[in-house]
Amino acid sequence: MLKHLYIRNFAIIDELELDFNTGLTALTGETGAGKSILLGALNLVLGDRADNDSVKQGSDFAEIVAEFDIQHLNNVSSWLVSQELNADDECILRRRIAKDGRSRAYINSTPVNLQNIRELAEMLIDIHGQHEHQSIMKNSVQRQLLDDYAKHSPLLESVSNLYVELKLVEEQLQHLQQNSNAQNNRLDLLRFQTRELETLALEENEYQLLDRQHKRMANAEKLHETVAQAIYQLSEDESSNVQSAVSHIISSLAEISDIDEKLLPASEMLTEALVQIDESVSLLQSYRDTIDTDTAELARTEQRIQSILDLSRKHRVEPETLFALHQQLLTELNDIDHVDERLDELAIQQNELLEKYTAACNRLSLSRQKAAGVLNHKITGSMQTLGMSGGKFEISINSITGKRTAYGLDTIEFTVTANAGQACKPLSRVASGGELARISLAIQMIIANNSRIPSLIFDEVDSGVGGGIAEIVGQHLRTLATINKGSNKGYANQVICITHLPQVASQAHNHLRVEKLTRKKQTTSQVIQLTAEQRRQEIARMLSGVEITEQSLAHADEMIARTQDI
């Protein structure tokens, strides 16, 4: 829900901070006091386009910050995580507009584009009465509302899974069919290439082994000479060899170690070194015996390496990857050889999945038709109490032709007429802002328990109504804010209503008043959180006008008292 709104240097507002609560909040004030300015600021932080008229005269910039409580909004938390914008369950939207009209937007202090803001805003708040941010106008949201109301999650999951499987199989089938002719032309080449590689009979890592073997054989004389010299110097030189020298030093140190024990570590290290020298000599002698000087074997190795190099150049690959290329060509050849079998398998699989998908879509469609009938009746009934006597609501469900979707084979559109005898038209084409807001209220009243959006703002919802109907509108708004969801008690939704009718304002759990002030020839707006007495005075003012009478105060008391039973 919307927790806090901060506005600075916007229109005629110097600086304003507002805290919001759950339940129904009424926003009232004299005409021109700035109620629309407040809503305009909220629209801006939710992604509306900005212009230089937004900035208060004499200021360099305007700034709006909106903070939302997303503790129970898993979809919002998931979205923030996916966008790498999460910040410990915080959701703070900020918009800064310069006096030249340029603006910057932020989510949790990270700069973002307006599309990001708008996408997030649609999950946080719904503004009814203006077309901006009114998600219920979108066919995708209308479909979602119907499916949520009918608890279609299992059916939708089944349809979606089958849709994905079917799409994957069809893509594989299309790929094989499109490449069938080209593959037939490639078949002869593949057979020739694989026969050639099979004749070579190259083993995995063989080239690397041959390369190392060739280096040893080609340098056998040098290896033998160097190793022999090392052995001679280490142990075989009778006049002076390393083994004898180290052994002599060890014996000399042993004679004097009794005099000074500090020589013992050096003597021990030399003893270990002598052991290492002895082992090195043994290893070198063994290696010397393995040095191959067979010229015939060298020639055979060189010929094998050349054959590998020739075929690698022919295939334009490195010799180290020739074995892998052979395996790749064998796989491709096998696929082409069996392409007809694979096409038949995929065709059978496609038909089976198509039957399952169609059957699942039909079950979903029938359930939608049933749920739509219930909703049509309930929402139409709700409209009769909101000043639209004879009005009608109808959910249009039609089959999609020539197209499949992950949501089934239906197009879903909310249609409505506010007057008896007129045909229903799409909700998006309802012209009157007041009627649209009341129709939205009627819909929200019925589907509130399934709503994914926790904050609702109704602007001009009471336009063109008065008396008993206005009171019913207020009662509906209060009920919408207090509907229990599951085991939760208290205020389930946050509903904010901008109104000029006391019948609506008297139903509120919270009451804010917008006032216009003139200071030092400068006009500014402020918003006051009303106390119980201030609220009584405000409703009396709304009833009687400029002069508040005892009669209007008594009437206000009566209206407020009636709300306690709702």
Predicted local distance difference test score (pLDDT) of residue 67: 94
Q: Are 51 and 103 spatial neighbours (Cβ–Cβ below 8 Å)? A: no
C-alpha closest to that of 138 among 482, 452, 382, 454 = 452
Predicted local distance difference test score (pLDDT) of residue 486: 45
**248-271, pLDDT tens digit by residue?**
898 888 888 888 888 888 988 999
Q: 10 Å Cβ neighbour count for 355?
A: 11
Inter-CA distances, 59 with 17, 53, 99, Å = 18, 11, 7
Q: Sign of dihedral through CA atoms 115, 120, 123, 125?
A: negative
C-alpha closest to that of 434 among 473, 379, 483, 392 = 473
Tokens of 425: 């038209």
At 457, give phi and psi (nearest 5°).
Answer: -120, 125
Q: Are 305 and 212 spatial neighbours (Cβ–Cβ below 8 Å)? A: no
Predicted local distance difference test score (pLDDT) of residue 564: 61
Task: Check residue 493 and report its DSSP letter.
Answer: S
Predicted local distance difference test score (pLDDT) of residue 164: 95
Predicted local distance difference test score (pLDDT) of residue 394: 95
Predicted local distance difference test score (pLDDT) of residue 451: 67
For the chain, the distance separating the N- and C-terminal CA atoms, rounded to the nearest angstrom, is 23
At 329, give phi and psi (nearest 5°).
Answer: -65, -35
- Answer whether residue 484 shows pLDDT above 80: no
**442-478, pLDDT tens digit by residue?**
887 787 666 677 788 888 666 666 778 888 888 888 8
**99-143, pLDDT tens digit by residue?**
888 889 999 989 999 999 999 998 898 887 644 456 778 888 899
Predicted local distance difference test score (pLDDT) of residue 161: 96
Site of tokens 């270990």 = 272
298 burial (CB, 10 Å; 0-12 / 13-18 / 19+) is middle
pLDDT bracket for residue 190 (50, 70, 90) = confident
Q: 10 Å Cβ neighbour count for 347?
A: 13
Predicted local distance difference test score (pLDDT) of residue 131: 47
**263-294, pLDDT tens digit by residue?**
888 988 999 999 999 999 999 988 888 887 77
Task: Name the β-bridge partners of 10.
Answer: 13, 55
Predicted local distance difference test score (pLDDT) of residue 287: 86
pTM: 0.61
Report d(CA 541, CA 511) in Å as an integer: 14
**327-374, pLDDT tens digit by residue?**
988 888 887 777 778 888 999 999 999 999 999 999 999 999 999 999
Average pLDDT of span 73-101: 87
SS3 198: helix
Predicted local distance difference test score (pLDDT) of residue 180: 65
At 201, give phi and psi (nearest 5°).
Answer: 55, 45
Predicted local distance difference test score (pLDDT) of residue 471: 85
Predicted local distance difference test score (pLDDT) of residue 513: 92
Average pLDDT, the chain: 86
- Answer whether residue 516 shows pLDDT above 70: yes
Give the residue with greater pLDDT, 446 vs 540. 540
pLDDT bracket for residue 48 (50, 70, 90) = confident
SS3 290: helix
Lowest mean pLDDT segment, chosen from 17-21, 353-357, 384-388: 384-388
Which sequence spans correspond to the domains of the chain?
181-339
List the beta strands (DSSP E) in 313-467: 392-399, 410-417, 425-426, 455-459
C-alpha closest to that of 86 among 104, 73, 103 = 73
Q: Are 1 and 496 spatial neighbours (Cβ–Cβ below 8 Å)? A: no
% of the chain residues with pLDDT over 90: 31
445-449: list long-range contacts, CB under 8 Å, 24+ apart.
Answer: 445/382, 445/476, 445/479, 445/480, 446/149, 446/375, 446/378, 446/379, 446/382, 447/145, 447/148, 447/149, 447/375, 448/480, 448/483, 448/492, 448/493, 449/483, 449/485
- Answer whether residue 184 shows pLDDT above 70: no
- Answer whether residue 32 shows pLDDT above 80: no
- What crossing angle do the helices spanning 339-384 and 153-178 adopt, rounded to 10°? 150
- Answer whether residue 488 shows pLDDT above 50: no
